[in-house]
Structure 1
Amino acid sequence: MAVNEPLEISLKNVLDYFIVQNNEYRFVTKDFGIVSSFMRMTSELFFIHQPYKLKEGRIVYAVSGQVTLSINLIQYTAKKGDLLLLAPNSIIEIHEFTTDFEMRMMAIQNDFIQFLNKDEVLEYYIGRRENLFLPLSEKDYEMTERYFFLIWDTVHEEVFRKEVVQSLVSALLFNISYIRKRSKADTETRHTRQEETFHRFIALVHEYCTQERNVAFYADKLCLSPRYLNTLVKNTSRQTVMEWLNQAVVIESKVLLKHSDLLVYQIADKLNFPNPSFFCKFFKKMTGMTPMEYQKS
């Protein structure tokens, strides 16, 4: 029997399905999308405390209020002026937001900006699974708004000017790169080597957790000993390597349980558990619910 893959928040399924009530706040093609008002768009797809996988990368920034969300296990609180650059295939989960929260967003398919992949920020965006959280100064925020609405106005021309939009999105990304480099030079925001290694570890967990749950595997990828990796991760995050791996597997499990028609035994196999019983015990221990209870919740 054929089964569906987990639902991804992608440009394709946004085009294929009716999931918003107010289309005037968005513009979508097969390789680019832009949303001027996420809240007024009234999406029927997003729910609190439910993980989603974003197929394409995103440029997101808050324009009012505050939101708390997790991106690939890392929790962020974003308020007006905070910008997020989300790598393709990131898993997000919104925990809470204030009643006045609003954000703008672009979704960009990799090939849309492929010719720019030598730049540092685009390497984050395309080549790595790391995400960028960048508080903007008032001046940088206003400039980002000008870029955004220039792109917004351009996509609403009578003929879609793809090359113009590509150039404007590229200019925005290069400007984000300059802001990031300036921010990184600030001693108050510079990551230590341990923090950089930790973020590389989290990116690897996000990429391999469904198949690899051995500390030695991640230590080898980072050219570290398992013991040192354990110490570094615990010192940086107050959680062990295995705790991060288990959390990642739970998130992947939730995505599959909510957004696919896979049966529990198929999910257990997909996530490399030895048998369905082991998977059910693991999920119940981590969440307090059985897989079926979560699926129906």
Structure 2
Amino acid sequence: MDISLLSSLTAIHYDEGNLAFLKASLLHFDCGIQLQCTSGEGILSTGAQQFHLHKMSELIFWEGSIMQLIEASDDFHVRFLLYPKKLFLQAAISLDTTYFNYMREFPQYNHEEESWKNISLWMNMGQLLFTQPPSAFSERLELNFLQGMLMWIFSSIPDTYVSVAESYTRKQLLFHKFMHLIHEHAAQMHQVSFYAGQLCISPRYLHEITETYSNGKTPKALIDEQLTAELKVLLNNPALSIAEIASLCQFPDSSYLSRFFKKNTGISPKEYRTQKQP
């Protein structure tokens, strides 16, 4: 796959394979991604969070993400569609944001036979439509396809949402919300108090939740893991100076960023860049 598409996508793109291009380092998808595992197993990392994919599992990030393939079986294979952000906003404008919030907090879905058969039909349609040369109707086809698929997916969410809400405790639901928040904001917001405020709970209660559901990790540790992953992606862009990255990620200066990065990786940002050079 041409990885330049991840930052310059202008039309829906269909692809499939073993995601080998995600093994070397974290990559930033500046677009939506809908990914279906058709065989084997793999573990995808988005920074502080990991997703274990297996046959009939689906992972969706409508507004982009950073991703890296941590490990995969020899028979690991996925099909995926990439969606430009502009198109997604056009298609989603008339749909209930409650359902989008649910899918942001629970981006992975493990299908049963019937739902897998149905969602695979949509992927087949995507393959048919978006592996052909552009035509006069391409833009209309893209919008109609995405709107139709979103409506179909959301028609099944109310029952799913109810079952999830009933099976999870309040602490578990808060933990999922917290992980979504750091996925979205960790590059700029580094303080535990911000996330506790967004969840309307105390930092102490958030600390209790994360220790319970993340193998003893503190909220700050999870925030720092996500921030470190975001920094690695930015450092992979040679056009950005370390000072510019520090500014983008709300560090007081580049020396502060360097101390943070070395504390969490064992090497300086400059050393990291040297290692990544061909």
RMSD: 2.8
Q: Which amino acid aligns with 1:292?
A: K
String of CA shifts for 1:232-262, please: whole Å, max 9, x gaps: 2222222111101111210111011112422
Cα 1:188–1:11 change in 2 (3 A) is closer
Whether 1:169 aligns to 2:146 is: yes
Query: Where in structure 1 are there 5+ consecutive unaligned residues?
Result: 1-7, 15-29
Cα shift at 1:137: 1.0
Identity %: 24
**2:228 pairs with 246, 250, 259, which one?**
250
Query: Where in structure 2 are there 5+ consecutive unaligned residues?
Result: none
Contact 1:65 1:102 in 2 (8 A): yes
Q: Which amino acid aligns with 1:279?
A: L
Cα shift at 1:157: 8.0
Cα shift at 1:224: 1.3
**1:63 pairs with 35, 38, 42, which one?**
38
Cα shift at 1:182: 4.0
Cα shift at 1:264: 2.4
Q: Which residue of 1 aligns with 2:204?
A: 227
CA–CA separation in structure 1 for the residues paired with 2:29 and 2:64: 5
CA–CA separation in structure 2 for the residues paired with 1:239 and 1:108: 34
Q: How many residue pairs end up in the alignment?
A: 267
Q: Which amino acid aligns with 1:13?
A: S
Whether 1:32 aligns to 2:27 is: no
Higher deviation after alignment, 167-176 or 82-91? 167-176
Q: Which residue of 2 aligns with 1:13?
A: 8
String of CA shifts for 1:29-77, please: whole Å, max 9, x gaps: x142222x234xx87xx24151122122111111111110113521111
CA–CA separation in structure 1 for the residues paired with 2:182 and 2:238: 22
String of CA shifts for 1:164-222, please: whole Å, max 9, x gaps: 44333333333333444444444798332212212222222233323332222222222
Contact 1:10 1:56 in 2 (8 A): no
Whether 1:290 aligns to 2:265 is: no
Q: TM-score, normalised by structure 1?
A: 0.78
String of CA shifts for 1:251-278, please: whole Å, max 9, x gaps: 1110111124222233233323333333
Cα 1:254–1:162 change in 2 (3 A) is same
**2:250 pairs with 262, 266, 272, which one?**
272
Q: Which residue of 1 aligns with 2:56?
A: 81
Q: TM-score, normalised by structure 2?
A: 0.83
Secondary structure of 2:236's counterpart equals helix
Q: Which residue of 2 aligns with 1:134?
A: 109
Q: Which residue of 1 aligns with 2:192?
A: 215
Contact 1:38 1:104 in 2 (8 A): yes
Whether 1:194 aligns to 2:171 is: yes
